[in-house]
Structures are given as C-alpha cells and as structure tokens.
C-alpha cells in the first residue's frame, strides 16, 4: 500500500472548532485514503536548527496559541506514538548523514493535531512529529523529505503542515480572497504541477507577491511544502485537492504528491 505525501494548510487554530468546506474536505480525505499504518508530520510550529522527532508512547496536546475561546484549551488529541516508526525514520536519517535526535514529552503542536483531529478524529493511528528548519535551503528541506520516501510504500502517511500564504499581519475580515494571495498560490501551483524545482527553490525571487505571502518572519509556514514534496521525489506528481481562503489571504489548500 503506497500512500501519497500531503501538504496541508492548517490555517487558524480555530479550525479545530469550525465546520466549513475545508474541515469537511479534511474529514472526507481521512475517510477516502487507505488507513495509514502510521503518520509522520512535519509541522511549521516546530522550527529547530537540529532535526528532532518525537519518541513518545502517547502524545500530549499542546495548546500553543493565545487569546482563543476557552473551549480551544479543553481539546485533546490523544494519539499514540510509535517507537517502530521513530526508529525507521532515524535509520533513514542516519543513512542520509543527517544528525537527528528523538525527544520525549513534547506533545503534538497545533500544526499537527488540528489537521489530524479533522482527518482522524478517533486518534487511532500512531503519529511521529518532526521538526522543520526554516533556515535551511529549500533543496536541503526537500532532501530531508526524500530520505523518507520509501516509507510511503509501507503504509506511512507523510504530511507537511503549514501554509502557502500565511501572513497574519495582512489578514482582514473578508470572504473574497485578495488578488495578490491568489496570484502567489497560482504561481506555486504551476511549478508544482510541472515539478519545477528550479523555480520553486527560488520562489522568494521568482514568485509574484512572495514578500507578502511569505514574510521574512514567517518562512516556517511554507517550508513544510518542500519536506512533503521530497517525500514523493520517486514519483514527482502533484495534484491540488483543495483551495479556499479565509480572512482575505489565509490560504487553505491541500496538495497530494505521488
């Protein structure tokens, strides 16, 4: 059973409580995919210069956000970990000469549990969370994902959780997407559909409105895309499964890589 690698926009933490077109899509996606043996998720909210991954029997739920309704802080997602999957990932990192360190007691940040709770509400699939390093080059991030590509053939779902357009200083209450956000998303889509790594890796110089879409203080939300793409380097086929917007420019999209 070979699973795709996915890039999933996790939007606002409020997605944990919302019932909208996007949350219904994620629930449907979780039902339609073959049930994974395990999930490895690279989260934008775990940005570390060293490669980290969880090694817990059970995960706590991190409420790593502020100023939200009290109900948000009562939500838990009690997924189990997987020592087997952690070890398999470590073996591949070691083979790729990437120093990595398992950590315990961290829990799942909202970049991981918010989307997983929508897709797999029973929390019955083991999860290993992985850090990203936003200071690495896109090609390095892609190469790290590629180290895990063969795990997809063994029933492991690899997810990059972030946001292609994620500039919270430019959001506003609107149901209509801002033109600049759409133009950036469509440029990214064109490069993904042709697997144009040369252009993608230089998105900050090539893409329209790159500064607005990926501000210098927020690159960590885009880079999970490269980890997820790398995990499908052996197939190099991209398909956009969903696209919508919240707050004018907050891009909610899901890409599947085979």
84-122 pLDDT, tens digit each: 999 999 999 999 999 999 999 999 999 999 999 999 999
Query: Which residues, listed in sequence order, are joined to residue 185 by a DSSP beta bridge?
Result: none
Average pLDDT over residues 195-207: 98
CATH topology of domain 5-257: Protocatechuate 4,5-dioxygenase; Chain B (3.40.830)
CB neighbours (10 Å) of residue 226?
29
DSSP character for 122? T
- For residues 243 and 188, is the Cβ–Cβ distance under 8 A? no
d(CA 227, CA 146): 7
Q: Judge whether residue 1 has pLDDT over 90.
A: no
Indicate the pTM of the whole model.
0.98
Residue 126's pLDDT band, with cuts at 50, 70 and 90, is very high
């Amino acid at each position: 059973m070979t699973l795709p690698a996915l890039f999933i926009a996790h939007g606002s933490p409020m997605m944990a409580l919302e019932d909208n077109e996007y949350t219904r899509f994620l629930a449907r996606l979780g039902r339609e995919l073959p049930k994974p043996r395990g999930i490895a998720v690279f989260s934008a909210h775990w940005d570390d210069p060293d490669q980290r991954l969880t090694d817990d029997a059970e995960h706590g739920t991190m409420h790593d956000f502020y100023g939200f309704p009290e109900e948000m802080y009562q939500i838990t997602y009690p997924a189990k970990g997987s020592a087997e999957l952690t070890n398999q990932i470590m073996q591949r990192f070691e083979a790729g000469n990437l120093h990595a360190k398992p950590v315990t007691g961290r829990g799942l940040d909202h970049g991981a549990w918010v989307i997983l709770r929508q897709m797999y509400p029973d929390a019955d699939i083991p999860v290993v969370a992985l850090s990203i390093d936003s200071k690495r080059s896109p090609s390095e991030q892609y190469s790290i994902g590629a180290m895990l590509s063969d795990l997809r053939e063994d029933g492991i779902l690899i997810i990059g959780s972030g946001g292609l357009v994620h500039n919270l200083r430019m959001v506003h209450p609107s149901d209509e997407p801002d033109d600049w956000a759409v133009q950036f998303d469509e440029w990214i889509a064109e490069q993904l559909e042709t697997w144009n790594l040369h252009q993608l890796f230089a998105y900050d110089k090539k893409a329209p409105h790159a500064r607005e879409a990926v501000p210098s203080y927020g690159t960590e939300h885009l880079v999970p895309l490269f980890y997820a793409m790398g995990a499908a380097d052996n197939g190099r086929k991209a398909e956009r499964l969903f696209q919508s917007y919240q707050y004018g420019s907050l891009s909610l999209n899901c890409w599947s890589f085979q």
